[in-house]
Amino acid sequence: MNSRIVDLEIKTDGRGKLIPLEYPKQLSFPLQRIYYIYDVNNGIVRGRHSHRDLEQILIAVSGSLKVRIKTPFSEEIVTLNDPSKGLYVGPMIWREMLDFSDDAVLLVLASHEYDESDYIRDYEQYKNEADSYFESHKEQK
Ligand code: TYD
């Protein structure tokens, strides 16, 4: 699938831990945007969309949450609860973020600026576009 867990290298010394994220050393794409999501109430599901081109890395810098990542062919739930793990999510992956703990802070690193025309928010529309996308990108299925 066009998503994977990325181990982020921790610089540890007697003072604590630090994780640098720099393109092209640790990041596979140059960043144009970051945002973070926190204070999410119980039972809330965020996301529920796909992007056509955007690449992202999701990191739970505090607390825990789950990410449901779906394609027309597969579905997986990933728990993020470790600031040294990133979830890379490539183009044409349907994602939903849920089960945020009270202290969860989800940091998102994004390859492009915010662009509503890159979003697919309707699942039926997503399935149609994803079928043809994965037909021409079979290696990412
Ligand atoms: P939304 O896409 O609904 O967030 P989520 O993916 O968590 O469900 O975005 C919430 C609001 O924030 C919406 O009004 C669009 C705005 N927004 C920006 O202005 N810039 C951004 O980079 C993002 C991700 C959202």
pLDDT of residue 1 exceeding 90: no
Q: How far apart are the C-alpha atoms of 14 and 64, rounded to whole Å?
A: 26
Overall pTM > 0.75: yes
pLDDT at 135: 92
* CA 5 to ligand 1 center in whole angstroms: 23
* CA 36 to ligand 1 center in whole angstroms: 10
Which tens digits make up the pLDDT trace of 26-73? 999 999 999 999 999 999 999 999 999 999 999 999 999 999 999 999
Determine whether 86 is exposed, middle or buried from the number of CB atoms within 10 Å of its CB (0-12, 13-18, 19+).
Answer: buried
If one counts every other C-beta atom within 10 angstroms of the C-beta of residue 121, the result is 11
Q: How far apart are the C-alpha atoms of 98 and 44, rounded to whole Å?
A: 6
Which tens digits make up the pLDDT trace of 76-93? 999 999 999 999 999 999
pLDDT at 27: 96
